[in-house]
Chain A
Amino acid sequence: NAGVMQNPRHLVRRRGQEARLRCSPMKGHSHVYWYRQLPEEGLKFMVYLQKENIIDESGMPKERFSAEFPKEGPSILRIQQVVRGDSAAYFCASSPDRDSQPQHFGDGTRLSIL
């Protein structure tokens, strides 16, 4: 089991471009969480998804950010019209169901905005 896979590991974008971050959960896991880590900060919850459903997006900025977890394929975190403040490490975690803990984390995607 390769664990939670995130790609790319590093992503560089210019201001105004779009960033797409991908996360494949562990085999057998159908619940995905996205967290963001700003420099010198702890990880902060963004969104929780099950296959084809967004369950909790209370930590997601209201504009420019969206997430999906389609029936087939990885979960995608999409940031439109990126700004310098979006520079951060974005981590994905997965679990087999809502009540199963702990969450297993990926290596993260480090997003840099020029």
Chain B
Amino acid sequence: AQRVTQPEKLLSVFKGAPVELKCNYSYSGSPELFWYVQYSRQRLQLLLRHISRESIKGFTADLNKGETSFHLKKPFAQEEDSAMYYCALLRGSGAGSYQLTFGKGTKLSVIP
């Protein structure tokens, strides 16, 4: 069965320090992975997806199939990065739909 693991419930870093939010997955097929972010009092929104290979708000994430990881990184944290971050895996089901499987989330707190 597919699973997404985010080992850190809470991550605190100082402003300007590098950030790495960990995500590991298990999936027998070819994964499509996403990072979603939820800022305080806002809805869940897409941050980035691995097939786009973009950098959004300074964040990047590389899919490492050997280590089954999709860690989210940013070289210099900013206060406005404080939020809940969810790693998610998209899989097709036998019923003909696509489902997202989410990790439990990591709360990032950037200390001024």
Contacts and interface: CB of A to CB of B under 8 A. Distances in A.
Do these two chains really belong together in a complex? yes
B74 interface: no
For chain A, what secondary structure do more than half of its interface residues adopt (helix, strand, loop), or is it mixed? loop
Nearest to A31: B97
B109 to A, nearest CB: 17
B100 A35 contact: yes
A56 B96 CA distance: 7
B34 interface: yes
Interface size class on chain A is: 20 to 34
B102 A44 contact: yes
Given A91-B44, A101-B90, A45 B96 contact: no
Nearest to B51: A101
Contacts of A3: 43
For chain B, what secondary structure do more than half of its interface residues adopt (helix, strand, loop), or is it mixed? strand
A59 interface: yes
Contact of B43 (A40, A44, A55, A106): A106
A105 B95 contact: no
Interface residues of B, number: 25
A42 B86 contact: yes
Interface in A77-112: 91, 93, 98-99, 101-108
A58 B95 contact: yes
Interface in B62-83: none
Contact of B96 (A42, A59, A98): A98
The 6 A-B residue pairs whose C-beta atoms are closest, nearest first, are A42-B102, A56-B95, A56-B97, A48-B97, A105-B44, A45-B99
Interface of B: 4, 6, 32, 34, 36, 43-46, 49, 86, 88, 90, 93, 95-105
Given A35-B100, A41-B104, A48-B99, 6 more contacts: A33-B97, A56-B93, A56-B96, A56-B99, A102-B34, A105-B36
